[in-house]
Structure 1
Amino acid sequence: MLTTRTTLFAALSMAAALTLTSCAGGSPAATPSAASETSTFNTADVIFAQMMIPHHEQAVEMSDDLLAKDGIDQDVVDLAADIKTAQQPEIDRMQGWLTEWDAEEDSMAGMDHGSDGMMSAEDMTMLQDASGTDASRLFLQQMTLHHEGAVAMAQLEIDDGENADAVKMATGIVTTQTAEIAVMADLLETL
């Protein structure tokens, strides 16, 4: 009986060792690649990228409009430069995800000017036409609404997204843009 038990244990150990060895050997079917893990996504991830790209593009445009003006408060200029610097690389990453996911960029699908923080054409013209302190104030007011919309969209991704990189970006957007909203509120009080 001891011999049968020892033989059975040895056979099970051998089978387990062979199984682990074949998995560790890196056969494509047995070991998922890092690319397949990072390319896991769902509809929420696609919608997040599709909606956040034009949202970020508009923030970059608003920042460019402000940065092209003279007589703007330096703290507001610095904030606009920071927004532009942060959001352009995120646009590039999201466009890459959509390509990887074989999804259309669908630039304005589902965008609801106002509730998602997007500025209307009239809002953008007002910012382009403003100057000095009025431009600084208008930029801060519009960008606050814009950021609030981005935070809401990012929170949906955090709640419903599956792609770890997209959820990580969304978490960063919530953190960064919530902090910037507080900075903008403080700046508005000084103008």
Structure 2
Amino acid sequence: MNSKRMLVAVGSAAAVVALVAGCTSDESDDNATTSATTSASVSASGTAEQGGPHNDADVEYVQMMIPHHEQAVEMAELVPSRTGNPDIIALADQIEKAQGPEIEQMEGWLKAWGAPEPSKAEAPGATSDGMDHDGMEGDGTSMPMQSMPMTSMNSMPGMEGGGHGMMSAEQMQALENAKDAEFDKMWLELMIAHHQGAVASSEQILQTGESEQVRQLAQQIVSSQQAEIAQMEALLNK
């Protein structure tokens, strides 16, 4: 009799253990499912927020501003090897550190929006090989670009720059060939025009854009680059 009672007790205990284990497993599965769902929801929410309300003007502005920023960074990278002017070196470093992260930010927006990133060939003033060849066939009598004053460069066909203040390939080549005081003057004048183009485009998107994130960046560009324009104009007048 005692043996039968013991067997019943053992059987009951085993059933309870199995039941508890099953409940625990179900609860763990439920928690895992809930956690995965929550994580997916947060991720989707983040993507939706980044992609947020926007219009065609926002997309066009970002697609234009990415190569615009890339050229500013390229100009800034020329500075340390071409001048010893500490003010220009510091300003170039400031521009590079500010605009590099902004490029990544804008590329993220285009990805979230499902919009294509601009290629370098699509940059204003560039042809399919990335060069603006208009007016540059030459007859063997053209003066070396590195010796051209800025007023002469900007008045020659094909040397006007690419729009939105961007340099043409020829202006970039001339800048690369310049050194010291000549480089300083050329770099400041070209970067002022470059900044003015960015400010004008940013002021326009503040009126026509829909994306709050784009508007915040545009306002930041207006404020920071207007201050840098004033700084560069002061350096030119030293």
Report the equivalent of 2:187.
Answer: 139
**Aligned partners of 1:115, 1:51: CA distance in 2, in Å?**
10
Letter in 1 for 2:105: R
**Aligned partners of 1:120, 1:128: CA distance in 2, in Å?**
12
Higher RCO (Cα < 8 Å, 6 or more apart): 1
Deviation at 1:115, TM superposition (A): 3.5
Question: Which digits, 9 at most, give the CA deviation of each residue in 1:52-80, with x for residues without a partner?
Answer: 000000000001012222x4310011001
Q: What is the CA RMSD across the aligned residues, in angstroms?
A: 1.9
- How do 1:28-107 and structure 2 match up within 5 A? 33=45, 35-38=47-50, 39-69=52-82, 71-107=83-119
Name which of 100, 118, 139 aligns with 2:166: 118
**Aligned partners of 2:81, 2:114: CA distance in 1, in Å?**
36
Give the total of aligned pairs.
159
Is the contact between residue 157 and residue 167 of structure 1 (CA under 8 Å) also seen in structure 2?
A: yes
Please, what TM-score do these two structures have when normalized by structure 2? 0.63
* Stretches of structure 2 lacking an aligned partner (at least 5 in a row): 1-44, 126-160
* Stretches of structure 1 lacking an aligned partner (at least 5 in a row): 1-32
**Aligned partners of 2:123, 2:186: CA distance in 1, in Å?**
26
Structure 1 residue ranges, 4+ long, deviating more than 4 angstroms after superposition = none
Letter in 1 for 2:57: A
Is the contact between residue 72 and residue 136 of structure 1 (CA under 8 Å) also seen in structure 2?
A: no
Q: Does 1:152 align with 2:187?
A: no
**Aligned partners of 1:129, 1:156: CA distance in 2, in Å?**
34
Please, what TM-score do these two structures have when normalized by structure 1? 0.77
Deviation at 1:157, TM superposition (A): 1.4
Deviation at 1:111, TM superposition (A): 2.6
Letter in 2 for 1:61: E
**Aligned partners of 2:190, 2:209: CA distance in 1, in Å?**
28
What percent of counterpart residues are identical?
43
Report the equivalent of 2:218.
Answer: 170
